[in-house]
Structure 1
Amino acid sequence: MKTPPIVSPQEWETARQQLLGEEKRLTHARDALAAKRRRMPWQAVEKEYEFDGPDGKASLLDLFEGRRQLIVYRAFFDPGVTGWPDHACVGCSMVGDHVGHLAHLNARDTTLVFASRAPQSEIERVKARMGWTMPWYTITDDFDADFGVDEWHGTNAFIREGDRVFRTYFINARGDEALGTTWSYLDMTALGRQETWEDSPEDYPQTPPYEWWNWHDEYGAAEPAPQ
């Protein structure tokens, strides 16, 4: 292995500062992309979908758990997929391992769920084995085919206006690699992080950064914002 040159602390800091400029440009470009996502047109979801969940049958609207936004990751934990029945696919399992504490997303009126074609008994078993706590539903109809995740993993974002549901964004392939943190998930939603520094359309919900942040066990049991 041919290593880079060994330099003094001053030379190392100069090199780091050069890369730091590029990192800042990348951060600003990512912010600009998220702002464009918030201006994406919405696709009305006119079809009814039904899932199996830990509490029985659930509609797509039920998956929101009363919140304004919903993120659905299609994980491949199905018969015939490598790892079955002991594991979900390796890549989807890595995604599961990277999911942050959901209380922070919930505090921004956003619900994250996983969905697969495995029955609930198998999902609960693998969740317990892997230490996962995210809500995980069983797809029972054409949801995966209709939203581009029947042959490959992917993450769909939805928003609701009352009982009407709209698809707002979709990320798949290597785009899923960047997901897992509260910020990465919020950046793909229609409402974003909902902080005052963001470039968002007029009248979008926004509060000052830092002020809404909390320890995940101290957000309390506040009800989702009424719609």
Structure 2
Amino acid sequence: MRTPPVVSQEEWEAARQQLLIKEKAHTRARDALAAERRRMPWTAVKTDYVFEGPSGKTGFLDLFDGRRQLIVYRAFYEPGVFGWPEHACRGCSMVADQVAHLAHLNARDTTLVFVSRAPQADIARLKEHMVWNDIPWFTITDNFDKDFGVDEWHGTNVFFRDGERAFRTYFINNRGDEQMGNTWNYLDITPLGRQELWEDSPEGYPQTQTYKWWNWHDSYVTDAPPDKKWVEVSDAGEAAFRAESARHKC
């Protein structure tokens, strides 16, 4: 194994700052791509697909759970999949292992669900065994997977609900699914994005002050104003971050 050279702390910091220039450019490019994604056209969902959930039959609109945005990951757990019935697909299981606490997505009017063709009894047993109890997981009963390009391979579909109408807004699969799991990455593929003021979003999209909506996952209250103490803390943190960035530009 041929490792990189060992240098002094000063040389290491200089190399880090050079790489940071490219990393910041990458971040800005990622933000611009997310802004373009928010402007993608939508296509109407014309079928009321039916799923099986823990409480019985569930219509497609019910998957939103009262929220405007829905992210659906097609996980392969069913007869014929490697690992059945003890485990789901190894790749899909790694995706499930990455999922952050869903309270943060829910606070941005977004619901995440997994869907598979396995019966609910098997899904419940798998979730318990793998400690995925917080992930809503439904059974596909019709052509949902085929209609949305996930009948033969995993993939993540994004939808938006407007009253009784729903629209498909985005789709990502293959290596694109590798980035999923993080709250920010999930929000970046939704039509509304992170919903923060710094984002380049179409006119009229919901946006709130950056950082201010963040909360402990057990403390979100719908429509509650930002906590005054957290506003002070986040403002101070952002000011320190800006000052540090300015110093490195000198």
**TM-score relative to the length of structure 1:** 0.96
The DSSP-based 3-state class of the residue aligned with 2:139 is strand
Matches within 5 A, 1:21-170: 21-132=21-132, 133-170=134-171
Match of 2:248 in 1: none
Residues 1:7 and 2:38 are matched in the alignment: no
Query: What letter corresponds to residue 166 of structure 2 in structure 1?
Result: V
Tell me, in whole angstroms, the C-alpha distance in 1 between the residues paired with 2:149 and 2:25.
31
Identity %: 71
CA contact (8 A) 2:157 2:172 kept: yes
The DSSP-based 3-state class of the residue aligned with 2:36 is helix
Match of 2:217 in 1: 216
How far 1:18 sits from its partner (Å)? 1.0
Residues 1:189 and 2:220 are matched in the alignment: no
The DSSP-based 3-state class of the residue aligned with 1:115 is strand
Could you say which structure has the greater relative contact order, defined with CA pairs below 8 angstroms and 6 or more residues apart? 1
Tell me, in whole angstroms, the C-alpha distance in 2 between the residues paired with 1:211 and 1:55.
36
Where do 5+ consecutive residues of structure 1 fail to align? none
Query: What letter corresponds to residue 175 of structure 1 in structure 2?
Result: G
Cα RMSD (Å) of the superposition? Answer: 1.1
Q: Identify, as 1 or 2, the structure richer in helix.
A: 2
After TM superposition, which residue ranges in structure 1, 4 or more long, deviate above 6 angstroms? none
How far 1:209 sits from its partner (Å)? 1.2
Query: What letter corresponds to residue 17 of structure 1 in structure 2?
Result: Q
Tell me, in whole angstroms, the C-alpha distance in 2 between the residues paired with 1:40 and 1:78.
33
Query: What letter corresponds to residue 178 of structure 2 in structure 1?
Result: E
Tell me, in whole angstroms, the C-alpha distance in 2 between the residues paired with 1:16 and 1:99.
30
Please tell me whether Structure 1 or Structure 2 has the larger radius of gyration of its CA atoms.
2
Match of 1:176 in 2: 177
Where do 5+ consecutive residues of structure 2 fail to align? 225-250
**TM-score relative to the length of structure 2:** 0.88
Tell me the number of residue pairs that the alignment of Structure 1 and Structure 2 aligns. 223
How far 1:220 sits from its partner (Å)? 3.4
The DSSP-based 3-state class of the residue aligned with 1:174 is helix
CA contact (8 A) 2:48 2:61 kept: no
How far 1:61 sits from its partner (Å)? 0.2
How far 1:47 sits from its partner (Å)? 1.4
Query: C-alpha offsets along residues 5-54 of structure 1, whole Å, 9 cap, x if unaligned?
Result: 11111111111111111110110011001001100000100112000001
Tell me, in whole angstroms, the C-alpha distance in 2 between the residues paired with 1:198 and 1:211.
14
Query: C-alpha offsets along residues 124-175 of structure 1, whole Å, 9 cap, x if unaligned?
Result: 0000001002000000100000001001000000001101000000010000
